[in-house]
Amino acid sequence: MSIELEDVLGDFPAVAAREARERWQRLREVLGEEVLAGLPVGTAGKLVQVLAWSEFVCQVLLRTPDLLAAGRFESWLEPIDPAAAAADIKAELQALDSEAELRRRLRQLRQQWLARIAVLDMLSLADHQATHAAISAVADACVAAALDWLHADMQKQYGQPRSASGEPVELVVLGLGKLGGEELNFSSDIDLIFAFAESGQTDGEREVENELYFTRLGRRLIQVLDDDTADGFVYRVDMRLRPFGDSGPLVMSFAGLEAYYQQHGREWERYAFVKARPIAGDLAAGESLLDDLRPFVYRRYLDYGVFEALRDIKASINREVVRKENQDHVKLGPGGIREAEFTVQLFQLVRGGREAALRQRNFLAALDGVVRSRCLPQDDAERLGDAYRFLRRLENRLQQRGDRQQHHLPQEQESQAILAWSLGFASTAALHECWDRHRAVVTELFEDTVLGPEEAAEDSVGKQLWQAPRDVATDSVSALGYRDVDRVTDTLMALRQELKQARPGTRGRGRVDELMPRLIEMAAATVEPDAALERMCRIVAAVARRTTYLALLAESTEALRQLARICAASDWITGLVSRHPVLLDELIDPRLFEGVPDRNALAAELSLALAEVPNDDLEAVMDVLREFQQTRVLRIAVADIGETLPIMQVSDALSAVAEVVIKAALDRAWSDLLSRHGKPLRDDGEPAKYLVVAYGKLGGFELGYGSDLDLVFMHDAGGESATTEGPRVVESSVFFLRLTQRLIHFLSTPTAAGILYEVDTRLRPSGKGGLLVTSLDAFEKYQRESAWTWEHQALLRSRAVAGSDSLAGRFDVVRQAVLVQPRDATELHSAVADMRQRMQAELKLPASHSDLKASRGGLLDIEFLAQYWVLRHAADYPELAMFPDTIRCLEGLDSCCCLPGVDVPLLVDAYRRIRREIHRQALQGRSSVVPDGVLADERAAVADIWEQIFTSA
């Protein structure tokens, strides 16, 4: 049944009906009435809808009559499998006999496949992702098939290129831009770079150097794709993104490329390589090359210098837009595709070195990574994604009309009306309204993200204060709300002097001058303006020669605001950030003020970070561990100063960070030794196990800021007959000694990123005179037969934190058995009192000051009381020995009614208050030594109980 054309056109706007009718008539004249009449009515109706807009599809059908014969066109309405399409193209091109045939068939296949893609897109039978994946797959296949054919042809004369060692070497073709991102638009250029792995020469009758061979191959490939023949062209090839642009060599070795980008690489080239992808030739070698170039593209630090570079690129584009009156350019105009890409790629370049989720070639995949990395809120990302899809659909539709690089709406009103109808809009006005709405979203997010804060006005008070001499600056201090004029002016004058000595260079000095007026005003708005300014200036001085951090603060209003808030609240955090400026990166992370992840989440985060580091790069592993610990402690401290975490949860969180770090460090140390010595065995030949036990603050879940780690190390290897299984056999005890030494090295060795923790091992059996790591059996024997009472007090505050779960279970049994053994009450009382008195006697304090930890009524009194009571009563109430932390010990004693007449809730409350104050002092960079009046009532009450138990007894 043939189609009644006018019945179909009756639903079309008049201008669309006219275009469709004219193209249908041409098909009828060229192909014959019987061909069109053979189309099913539904299929013919769809074809008429496409013809209303696309002259390109009409031309392809006119040049290829058999596409409409025998039902072939129905297959065009089925989804395209990109991999299958690529395979079909390659298979057809491999069998060709001449370059002339290759050229002709390439052009025909490319046009036919793009026509089919256009049909699916215009009929809304394929979504954004499917359309661009199919376009990109066709391009990949055409380039790869052409390269393979030409390479095989050249080998007849020159043979196979080989390295100096005789291994075959192939050309690598990298696709950049939208081709690299597998999001090629309908009629796009393709940006390519040619490379080869190693120098050498070919092995044929005419030997030539590999570079010459691949240069000739590359030139032939470009000509085959780019030449405009009677059949058209395949792709316009743009090679200007290669090193040194048009003046550079067409092909470079991997070594040459790496040297170029290391020495000459510019910011825009990093931007270009975000989407780089091997598309033809030796794909595995291409991926290896990109892995080697990744440090150039994605810096390990957060690179805020890229803001300025991207703004320069955008400014250049804007000048071109104005010159060519391209305000309505879908790609380059305001709110266009390029601004959307810049918005996402900015985050990729700034944070991609540390956030694997951002290292994506495809825009929408990268946008998802931006959300997962918390760089943009979900709703903003959704708006940007919707805008991008619309703009790309509009771009493709413009180019589907005539297979031209069209980025403007047609000037004719009738053509605009057909375009609007083709895109599903009721009118041209509705199309423009939608376009304007999406452009506004892109512009808003682009300006918020890329353009950065406005420069301070010339007459701003902050700018006057920063630039004025001392005698003039004092007039501006009070106007901003600072309290101590001399302190503030001294701070600013001192910073100026430090900057002169630091010599940050012209660029750095410009960054400082851009930053300081806003910093001064931000500090003035805090609750402690004078302190905030002084501390922020310390940080500026610390990073004066590291322009990337100056750029971070200058570019990010949010980061500067967070820094002001933190500096106003904590001198300790200020010192931490000054020593480790990498923490400035955290200030723009919204997670900074969202509380602290739990232990499992922390472990997952650290595992992900370490997965990016090669196992054999010890320095990088140590730096990752340190940066992880510092950033998580910063988050805890921020939650602490914001009073969103109770003191117990602060210590729990600090303890969790330490445990996760210890476990990760142990895993790396174990893996390293295992590769050298093989698995350690016990005397009986079974695998030996290892355990890390925490004492003290970590053992009791009471870790503070800057706390040392008291660690004891154990194994179950047995005697000297126990050895490793190779390759370099050593005694198992030697293996565990080296493992322990390596673990301590991981934790406490200073690197450029600082240290993790100071490790104290003096609580091991026999103290400094004992073995660094001992067997669990020897540990148990020592605890039962030789340990002092104070060592059992310490054992109460112990727990396994890393290593073998089964050995941890055995340790728990030993610990419990030692702690619950019956004791002579008088000897216990005397031993605890004597030890505490000895500590008290060693205390040296300034007049009218007390130590919240060690003075009478302080933290140690409460801890010693709890330990004394548990050791005294655990034989009758074994459950008392289960918990390593002081509060649960006290609560257990109370519930067992072991302490009649003792106000246990008072001790618990005093313990919390004192620890809270010690944390508060630490955050201000101060010790636990305070004026006598601080928490005097609480400490007096504790002292009374101590007197009651130990002095009056």
How does pLDDT run across 223-281, given as a tens digit for each residue?
999 999 989 999 999 999 999 998 999 999 999 999 999 888 887 888 889 999 999 99
DSSP letters along 522-554, please?
HHHTSSSHHHHHHHHHHHHHHTTT-HHHHHHHH
Rg (CA), the chain: 36
Residue 726 has pLDDT above 80, yes or no: no
- First-to-last alpha carbon distance for the chain, in angstroms, is 112
Cα–Cα distances (Å) from 469 to 85, 463, 482, 508, 511, in that order, read 72, 12, 18, 21, 20
Residue 313 has pLDDT above 90, yes or no: no
Residue 709 has pLDDT above 90, yes or no: yes
Q: Pick from 731, 759, 732: which is nearest to 743 by CA?
A: 759
* Amino acid code (one letter) for 588: I
For residues 779 and 695, give the distance between their C-alpha atoms in angstroms, rounded to a whole number.
Answer: 14
Burial of 817 (0-12, 13-18, 19+ CB in 10 A): middle
Buried b (16+ CB within 10 A) or exposed e, 483-492: eeeeebbebb
Collect all residues with Cβ–Cβ distance below 8 Å to 946 and sequence separation of at least 6: 856, 857, 861, 865
- Helical H segments across 612-678, by residue range: 618-641, 647-677
The secondary structure of 773-823, three-state, reads: EEEHHHHHHHHHHCCCHHHHHHHHCCEEEEECHHHHHHHHHHHHHHHCCCC
Residue 318 pLDDT level (bands cut at 50, 70, 90): low
How does pLDDT run across 13-63, given as a tens digit for each residue?
899 999 999 999 999 999 888 888 888 888 889 999 999 999 999 999 999
Burial of 53 (0-12, 13-18, 19+ CB in 10 A): buried
Average pLDDT over residues 74-97: 90
Q: Coil, helix or strand for 690?
A: strand
Cα–Cα distances (Å) from 383 to 184, 436, 438, 439, 708, in that order, read 22, 13, 8, 11, 48
Q: How do beta strands 171-176 and 277-281 pair?
A: antiparallel
For residues 271 and 140, give the distance between their C-alpha atoms in angstroms, rounded to a whole number.
Answer: 21
Residue 629 has pLDDT above 70, yes or no: yes
Is the Cβ–Cβ distance between 142 and 110 less than 8 Å?
yes
Q: What's the confidence (pLDDT) of residue 118?
A: 96
Q: What's the confidence (pLDDT) of residue 1?
A: 43
Of 725 and 458, the one with more pLDDT: 725
Cα–Cα distances (Å) from 555 to 335, 346, 516, 538, in that order, read 21, 12, 12, 19
Is the Cβ–Cβ distance between 644 and 694 less than 8 Å?
no
Average pLDDT over residues 611-620: 78
Is the Cβ–Cβ distance between 452 and 558 less than 8 Å?
no
Q: Pick from 839, 909, 912, 827: which is nearest to 871 by CA?
A: 827
Of 301 and 703, the one with more pLDDT: 703
Share above pLDDT 70 across residues of the chain, in percent, rounded to a whole number: 93
CA 714 distance to own-chain centroid = 37
Q: Which residue has the tokens 């638009």?
A: 185
Q: What's the confidence (pLDDT) of residue 562?
A: 84
Predicted TM-score of the model (pTM): 0.72
Is the Cβ–Cβ distance between 187 and 139 less than 8 Å?
no
- Helical H segments across 797-934, by residue range: 805-819, 825-841, 859-873, 886-895, 904-923
For residues 697 and 417, give the distance between their C-alpha atoms in angstroms, rounded to a whole number.
Answer: 74
How does pLDDT run across 169-189, given as a tens digit for each residue?
999 999 999 999 999 999 999
Neighbours of 244 (CB within 10 A): 11
Long-range contacts for 385-390 (Cβ within 8 Å, ≥24 apart)? Answer: 386/438, 386/441, 387/335, 387/340, 387/438, 387/439, 387/441, 387/442, 388/337, 388/340, 388/363, 388/364, 388/442, 389/128, 390/434, 390/435, 390/438
Is the Cβ–Cβ distance between 863 and 943 less than 8 Å?
no
Collect all residues with Cβ–Cβ distance below 8 Å to 256 and sequence separation of at least 6: 243, 249
Share above pLDDT 90 across residues of the chain, in percent, rounded to a whole number: 56
Least confident of 40-49, 117-126, 805-814: 40-49
Neighbours of 124 (CB within 10 A): 10
* Amino acid code (one letter) for 589: D
User: Which helix H or strand E contains 435, and what residues bound it?
Assistant: helix 428-446
Cis ω for the linkage preceding 168 (within 30 of 0): no
Q: Pick from 107, 187, 114, 177: which is nearest to 146 by CA?
A: 107
Q: Pick from 129, 136, 115: which is nearest to 50 by CA?
A: 115
Residue 306 has pLDDT above 50, yes or no: yes
Collect all residues with Cβ–Cβ distance below 8 Å to 243 and sequence separation of at least 6: 249, 252, 256, 257, 260, 261, 264
Ramachandran quadrant class, 921 (left: phi over 0; alpha: psi -120 to 50; beta: rest): alpha
Of 544 and 410, the one with more pLDDT: 410
Residue 464 pLDDT level (bands cut at 50, 70, 90): confident
Buried b (16+ CB within 10 A) or exposed e, 894-929: beeebbeebebeebbebbebbbbbbbebbbebeebb
Burial of 944 (0-12, 13-18, 19+ CB in 10 A): middle
Neighbours of 107 (CB within 10 A): 21
Is the Cβ–Cβ distance between 177 and 275 less than 8 Å?
yes
Q: Of 264-268, 378-382, 616-620, 896-900, give the range with the top mean pLDDT.
A: 378-382
The secondary structure of 89-142, three-state, reads: HHHHHHCCCCHHHHHHHHHHHHHHHHHHHHHHHHCCCCCHHHHHHHHHHHHHHH
Of 701 and 514, the one with more pLDDT: 701
Average pLDDT over residues 526-544: 90
Residue 911 has pLDDT above 60, yes or no: yes
Residue 2 pLDDT level (bands cut at 50, 70, 90): low
For residues 790 and 830, give the distance between their C-alpha atoms in angstroms, rounded to a whole number.
Answer: 11
Burial of 535 (0-12, 13-18, 19+ CB in 10 A): buried
